[in-house]
Amino acid sequence: MADVAPLTISVPEAGKRYFGMSRGASYAAAERGEIPTVRIGRLLRVPVRAMDTLLESAAKSARQIKAVMTP
């Protein structure tokens, strides 16, 4: 059976995978709203699609700023 990518990952896994953060820093960023999360009962998870969208949006903004500032 082929491996299927998960739709959500744990907060520490998201912090480490996307930003190289420690477990504690990942939960702190999630609490500040910097890492998108969904709560399912007591379980706090990060939607992979939301993280991808967040990073794509940040990259697009950075490209737009660079284009404006480049003579």
pLDDT in tens, 7-41: 999 999 999 999 999 999 999 999 999 999 999 99
Burial of 64 (0-12, 13-18, 19+ CB in 10 A): exposed
Measured CA to CA, the distance from residue 46 to residue 38 in angstroms comes to 6
Tokens standing for residue 6: 């998960």
Q: What are phi and psi of 44, to 5 degrees?
A: -110, 120
Is 69 strand, coil or helix?
A: helix
Cβ–Cβ < 8 Å for 51, 38: no
Number of CB atoms found within 10 A of residue 10's CB: 16
| pTM of the model as a whole | 0.79
pLDDT at 2: 65
